Structure 1
Amino acid sequence: MSVPSRRPRGLAVLVGAWLLVLAGVTVLLGSRMVGVLLSSTSLPSVLLFAGGSALVFGYVSYRMSTKRLLLGLNTTPLSDVRAPSIHASIERLTRRMSIDRPEVYIARLGQPNAFALGSRTLVIDYSLVRLLTPAELEGVLAHELAHLEGYDSLLQTLAMSLLRMVASLALVVVLPLVMVTSLACWGLSLIMGRPMRGPDSVGSGVRRGLTGLVMGLLVAPTVVLQAYSRRREYAADRRAVSVLDEPLSFARALEKIQRANEPGGGLLSWFFPIRDRRTEQTPLERAFASHPPTDERVRRVREAAKAAETSQEAGQWHRVEVN
């Protein structure tokens, strides 16, 4: 009985030793390749080429995405004759913001919404026009025009391309490290008679950390871009307040849109159940959200409107004093 029990153990030790040797050879070859790469004078050129390629790809994607989305949404151009008040608001706002007038389209999005596409395109949902008063709609238009003014769509597309390129380069370095570490830990586990998986395996904590690092590199571009998107939403809100005659109407528009979106959920409500948007979000939901909470946006818009009103009143008082 003793001989058969030793044979599997001996095989495990042999396989474990082979895995350790394989890991060692991989480390030697990898370190030599890294040394050659770091000493190469062409490394900066390669990095510049990769960055330039990412920017070019991002710009091409940005130019093509607008037409693709317009076709997919089945939009219709909104002429001055059909909506003179909307075009009058846009004309007034673009003049105050010193930007070119965008092309305006109307669509049935399933939810009251409006958004900017590319650098000169504005899409408005049918139901948004019926839901909001003219002053409230002008607030939403000012917010979207602020996105066009800041080239937010272009900057986000280019940033995503660069972030993905950086994450890909980091993965090229990290993935071989994960492979070598796993081989070494498996080999030691076999030699020491411990399980290859689970908390009792050799280096289980190190492998979990490396796996988390890989997952972090995969999701990091999205998390960073969503954080930037939330900042730009706040910035667009502030810009809208600065050009509106009735800034508080924009706060009311946000509240109306929030209430209108809560009961239904739009085109995909049958697949993605929509819950109450006023409930507390988890940290993970906040990290992947492209927009900040509506309640927080409303609070900031009201504060900015109050500050602008106070500043305007102070300016009028000083003018009276001077005269």
Structure 2
Amino acid sequence: MNFVRTAMLLAAMTALFMGIGYLIGGQSGMVIAFFVAAAMNVFSYWNSDRMVLSTYRAQEVDERTAPEYYGMVRELSERAGLPMPKVYLYESPQPNAFATGRNPQNAAVAASTGILQMLSREELAGVMAHELAHVQHRDTLTMTITATLAGAISMLANFAFFFGRGRDNPLGIVGVLLMMIVAPLAAALVQMAISRTREYSADMRGGEICGNPLWLASALEKIHRGNEVIHNERAERNPATAHMFIINPLSGQNMDNLFSTHPNTANRIAALHEQAARMGRTPNRTSTEPFQPAKATRKSRSVPNTGRDTGNGNEPPFKGPWS
């Protein structure tokens, strides 16, 4: 059902994009708009991971520089039947994480230094399992396409004001003005609807991968509280990336409404508790011990600070490399 809904929303986004092309230049404009969208998506397909990782100045870590964190991702990837993704850390006191990459063979997961400080080992495992679920569902590619189309629709809507008043324009100047307002709004709503749909699905699969949905539920509660008081300045300057994070990194975006990129956190937690009950997991299994990342060695000057300065549902409980 999620796949069908996402496909329908993507089709609506593409139709809206081509409709604006028709408004600007008639049938030929619609064709041009289609090829522009295709070119933009090809570029995003090959470069989206590098773009977002560069935006947050994420730095890659390995078994030597962050053995527990890296080992956790490796074990979770094996449990999910995924290739080992690249593993990154980025400097931010705000607890959060995201996944990127065009497919599971070219994927990357990134966590903030703040999330390593705040979460227990089990909670962090739940978060990284959620991000690996996005990779497994190829959500990173889907969301890259919708973000690209949403931006292109906004751009075309502005172009329509200047170039959409010719004889091929079926709506006239009033229609153009309405399109300038409605088209970007409609594109944003479609993008947000896809994101919310994907988050619930990734939560469920993440709970299966780590073996205990309560770990992820506890992590979401902590991240939500942390994001209410700790702002991510880079995310505020790049709001188009907000949908990639496990919880919206932007301030004032916690409502479960049409204009939210993520479902309401309380609703996600409730769904995870229901899943845990079905799996026979009990609330007392979540550790409260903060995750202690490994310190970088002196030789690893390019490795970021680690935070001190700023399935099928039947898997056994996750046992990390610290066990």
Query: Are 1:301 and 2:272 counterparts?
Result: yes
Pairing of 1:16-95 with structure 2 (within 5 A): 50-95=33-78
Structure 2 residue 96 is the aligned partner of structure 1 residue 96: no
1:107 to 90, 98, 111: 90
Cα deviations across residues 238-276 of structure 1 (Å, max 9, x unaligned)?
111122222211100111111112223233799999459
**1:309 shift after superposition:** 2.4
Write the letter of the residue equivalent to 1:308: M
1:125 aligns with 2:125: no
Q: Which residue among 291, 302, 311 is the counterpart of 2:262?
A: 291
* Structure showing greater relative contact order (alpha-carbon pairs closer than 8 Å, 6 or more residues apart): 2
Structural mapping, 1:156-235, within 5 Å: 156-161=143-148, 168=156, 176-179=169-172, 211-212=177-178, 214-235=180-201
Aligned residues: 238
Structure 2 residue 108 is the aligned partner of structure 1 residue 149 = no
* Residue 231 of structure 1, CA deviation: 0.5
Q: By percentage of residues, which structure has more helix?
A: 1
1:218-244 deviation line (CA, Å, top 9, x unaligned): 321111011101100111001111222
Q: Distance in 2 between matches of 1:77 and 1:166?
A: 34
- Structure ID, larger Rg: 1
Distance 2:148 2:117 in 1: 38
Question: CA, structure 1 residues 276+262, in 2 after alignment: closer, same or farther (shift >3 Å)?
Answer: farther
In structure 1, the gaps of 5 or more residues are: 1-32, 183-206, 316-323
State the match for 1:7 in structure 2: none
Instruction: Determine the C-alpha separation between the residues in 2 that align with 1:246 and 1:174.
Output: 55
Match of 1:240 in 2: 206
| Cα displacement string for residues 148-188 of structure 1 (whole angstroms, at most 9, x for unaligned residues) | 1122121222244556778859x6998644436x5xxxxxx
Q: Indicate conservation of the 8 Å contact 1:116/1:144, yes or no.
A: yes
- Structure 1 residues 270 and 125: alpha-carbon distance in aligned structure 2, compared to 1, 3 A threshold: closer
> TM-score scaled by structure 1?
0.62
* Corresponding letter in the other structure for 1:287: L
Aligned to 2:84, the other structure's residue is in SS state: coil
Q: Partner letter of residue 293 of structure 1? A: N
CA deviation map 1:4-36 (0-9, x unaligned): xxxxxxxxxxxxxxxxxxxxxxxxxxxxx99xx
CA contact (8 A) 2:56 2:234 kept: no
Indicate if the aligned counterparts of 1:55 and 1:162 stay in contact, CA closer than 8 A. no
Supply the distance in 2 between the matched residues of 1:60 and 1:108 (Cα, whole angstroms): 27
Alignment of 1:232-271 (within 5 A): 232-267=198-233
Residues 238/269 of structure 1: CA separation in 2 closer, same or farther (3 Å cut): closer
Structure 2: tracts of 5 or more residues without a match: 1-21, 238-248, 282-313, 315-323
Q: Deviations over 1:161-218 (max 9, x none)?
A: 556778859x6998644436x5xxxxxxxxxxxxxxxxxxxxxxxx8xx854552223
Cα–Cα, structure 1 residues 47 and 231, in superposed 2: closer, same or farther, change >3 Å? Answer: same
Give TM-score scaled by structure 2 length. 0.62
Change beyond 3 A, Cα 1:296–1:220: same
8 Å CA contact 2:93–2:230 kept in 1: the answer is no
Deviation at 1:132, TM superposition (A): 0.8
Report the Cα offset of residue 112 of structure 1: 0.8
